[in-house]
Amino acid sequence: MTRTLESKPCGVCSTKMVFELDGDTICSITTYNGCNGSSKGISALASGMRIEEFIERCDGIVCERKKTSCPDQMAKILKRYLDGNFD
């Protein structure tokens, strides 16, 4: 069953992230108002990837002087989803 999640990331240029999930697999990730090429690249690489693998690979990645990044925010959102803490 496919599920669509939407969340607002914190501390990054992107203002919204939308995830399409099929069970524990990522179908797509769409970001709004972030770095266009990077966002498309992340989505293309994540498509078909298991949520846990994405979290493992992207958790803790930082962007320049920021303490987070779009991939890190995606991982945090997906962690909340897996923990049942998604609003």
Mind listing the domains of the chain with CATH numbers? 2-82 (3.30.390)
DSSP 8-class letter at 32 = E
For residue 6, give the 3-state DSSP assignment: strand
Residue carrying structure tokens 């919204």: 16
DSSP 8-class letter at 62 = -
Predicted TM-score (pTM) of this structure: 0.92
Residue carrying structure tokens 């990730």: 29
pLDDT in tens, the chain (87 residues): 899 999 999 999 999 999 999 999 999 999 999 888 888 999 999 999 999 999 999 999 998 888 999 999 999 999 999 999 875
Length of the chain: 87
